[in-house]
Chains A and B, each alone.
Chain A
Amino acid sequence: MSDPGQKSMVPGVLRAGSVASPAHADGAIFEFLAFRLATETYALPLAGVQEILKPPYITEVPRSAREVLGIVSVRGHVTTVIDLRRRLRLPEPPIDSRTRILLVAAAEEVVGLLVDNVLQVYRLYEDEVEIASTVGGDMNEYVMGIGRPRAVRTLGRSTSHERENVADILILLDAQSLLTR
């Protein structure tokens, strides 16, 4: 959890779901796991992601909401898998070898979120994060902000594969509002 004494422009919602350490003079560092959905790059606070799974056989649940892909068993626990692309009304590329399920702890249960592929963890300083309300425009309610990583730090020497996985804009999602509906 973050240091309560620290002055910060970052609202509680961001702090609550992320690991912040006052390691840098510029302020807190937030860790995000970035992943691809259709053509966009999204990210969730790393602390909320319990595990990344390759999709096992997903059992469809008749009569469930459209975005529910089905259920899987994760070490004996029946876990609901939600297609993030459907929830965010994005196109749905077919499931392939890079498709992953992120296990995310929501308020009352652990839910699996299907994403097209997982990129990397970004460590963002406070000044690299714009809060949704200040960005303005017609933002989706699940979006808590925009991350603009300074490419220098995340890159270093890069292979072509890494370059492909690097994004200059991350859409930061709020796991709680994504899952409590």
Chain B
Amino acid sequence: MRGGDDQDSVREEFLSEAQEIVETLSRDLLLLDQAQKERRDDPDLLNDIFRAVHTLKGLAGMFGMERLQELAHTLENLLDDLRLGRVDLTQETLDVLFEGVENIQRILARAEAGEDDVDLTGFAEAVDRFTEAAEVPTGNLDEYELGEHVTSVLTEYEEHRMRTNIEQDIPLYRLQVAFALASIDTALEDLKLRAKPFAELITYLPSMDGDDDDVISLEVLLASSAELEELRDVLCGTSGELEPVPRKQSARRPTMVPEDERKNPQSAPKKAQPRAQAGPVEEVVPDRGGGADALSLRSVANSVRVNIHKLDHLMNVVGELAIVRSAVAQMIEKIREWPELRSLSAELHRISRSFERNLEELQDGILDVRMVPLGQVFDKLARVIRQVARDNGKEIGMTVKGAETEVDKLIVEELSDPLMHLIRNAIDHGIETPAQRESRGKPRQGTLRLVAYQKGNHVLIEVKDDGNGMDSEFLLQTAIARGLINDDVSRDLGRDELFNLIFLPGFSTTETVTDLSGRGVGMDVVKTNISKLGGIIDVQSEVGVGTTFTITLPITLAIISALVVKLGADTYAIPLANVQEALMLEPAGIRTVEGREVMTLRGGTLPLCRLDELFRMQPPPRGRVNKQYVVVSQLGNRRLGMVVDSLLGQQDIVIKALGRSLSSVRGFAGATDLGDQHVALVLDTPQILEEVLASVERAKFVEVTT
């Protein structure tokens, strides 16, 4: 082992993890900034930020980056004061936080270059100015009949949240629930999740009346401005009882907190007593003080962060093993021909089969590791939706179904941009303003639905809005007006095909360019991005009812089924996801339309593309007498027949990227090792379709304009 390299890779790992944290931090700070501007309190977000900085501090300590550790510590202090309400969240404090993240980034950048010379003294002083002025919020816990058993066990943070809510006049509720001991963790998570949109869960305490050993009764304290009935509906699905916490008669008006209590909110005798009160069920009481830390420690122990390239590498090794396996199988076949070795060959055959099975399992296992739930993207989108709707003066509710559907990590990464675009479009053009909706007899609030589900080897994602819908006639007129299609063609278009006009480059129906969409980068980019993932996008719409986009994606990019074909002397693979059918070419059936070869397929016209001509390959010596085949490929509503010399069959392949030196070569999605030492190129069917048909459409366009 080379020690230097090891250290480098460990360092690299650290830097990438730290970078990831910084990215999350910047994102969360922006959200916090947004919340602050709207005078909205978001304790969860603040906690997330606090925890991220805390993790960073731990990491920095582990890797001996003292300066970073110091900086994180300073920030952590400020954040702690913020979440405990000792320091107010203002634009000034946010400025300091942003500056802090910038400093972290600076340190990381210098660290990458092996330097450690960022000066932080000025920054530390700026932070100190805030932390020194720390104060405690004044909301008075005495306003409520909380009971000694509650007030005495609140942590500093819980107490602060309680005070803040009281200060903002948000009523407190008490929920009594009982959970089975075995499933309390998941049940609590579920409760938190359900409560989240409506209420802030301040704390939960085990209560006294548990007779049953396997059941735990919890007293949950919530702050919520929702109506009691609504809250009951949301929370009481679990055999629970919800009631408002009674207020003390005398204490309606906020009163001043005694001086000594303000200075030291922990002075209450809570640390001394609470354990005894918790009684026999003490072990299962989550320790809220160290809760965040304990939780993150556990998750570190159970899961491993892995660079996706390492998984790619493993996949490569598995591919190599498959080649070894087939070589071994061939040897076994040879040995079989020797009668005196029959028992040996039978034994070898058995071993080889077991090898094969395990190899398949290994391959499936690696693929499984690459899978992540789509919820990862959906969560991000939910934040965007809220913001975009607000900016746009629209009321929008979002429902998500199937967030647990899993797809390959790489696909999830590439999916967020196209989905974001669809959603922005839906909010911008689709869903009407509350006033318009009311006048049309629709609920004020528009609904966006994200639905994901698996269907065979594909994952379908639907983005549905209940907005204005699209007028196909209007789309057609726009497309003609922009010269995107010609009049004759348009007559042949079916209703569904009309909607697909929006995917043409240069198509944009908004009259006014808004901040959100209609900037010319439109649906064609969405479509291209989806095709890059081997997927397709379709659209359905009804005027006044809404629009639905359906994205169909392969579950993984790592292994795909492909049709292996021969073209001249070379072998090519065509992803089956893009293949509709393959049939023999009838030379007599070929017609020429506008100088292009076409054939008739089930009553429709299918443009043909001779791949050897497209690829400008050497003309084959055989002439054109042999049988040839047509591979029909469809993208959205456009079809193309690719002419090849022969069909070799279907095979599962691992697509590997071509090197950078070939990045400018169009038409190939990568290459694959077919297992017989031959590398075959994998066709990028969407790109070929685009290329061939675009030139056809350009030709028509020229005809129209001249």
Contacts and interface: CB of A to CB of B under 8 A. Distances in A.
A57 B662 contact: no
Interface string A54-82: 00110111111000100111011111101
A57 B678 contact: yes
Interface in B649-694: 656-662, 665-668, 670-671, 673, 677-681
B534 interface: no
B305 to A, nearest CB: 24
Interface residues of B, number: 27
Which of A56, A63, A109 is the most central at the interface, judged by chain B CB atoms within 10 Å of its CB? A63
A71 B674 CA distance: 13
Contacts, number: 75
Given A62-B617, A63-B615, A77 B316 contact: yes
Nearest to B569: A60
A143 to B, nearest CB: 20
B653 to A, nearest CB: 12
B671 A179 contact: no
Contacts of B319: 76
A63 B681 CA distance: 12
Contacts of A59: 570, 671, 678-681
Contacts of B40: none
Nearest to B313: A76
A60 B665 CA distance: 12
Contacts of A56: 677
B333 interface: no
A108 interface: yes
Nearest to B680: A59
B679 A80 contact: no
A109 B615 contact: no
A166 interface: no
Contact of A77 (B616, B656, B667, B678): B656
B570 A80 contact: no
A111 interface: yes
Given A56-B677, A57-B678, A76-B319, A63 B659 contact: no
A181 B658 CA distance: 16
Interface string B564-584: 000000100000000000000
A61 B662 contact: yes
A61 B616 CA distance: 11
A126 B422 CA distance: 63
Interface of A: 56-57, 59-64, 68, 71-73, 75-80, 82, 108-111, 179
27 contacts: A57-B677, A57-B678, A57-B679, A59-B570, A59-B678, A59-B679, A61-B681, A62-B616, A62-B665, A62-B667, A63-B665, A63-B667, A64-B662, A68-B661, A68-B662, A71-B681, A72-B679, A73-B673, A73-B679, A77-B656, A78-B671, A78-B679, A79-B659, A80-B659, A108-B660, A111-B659, A179-B661
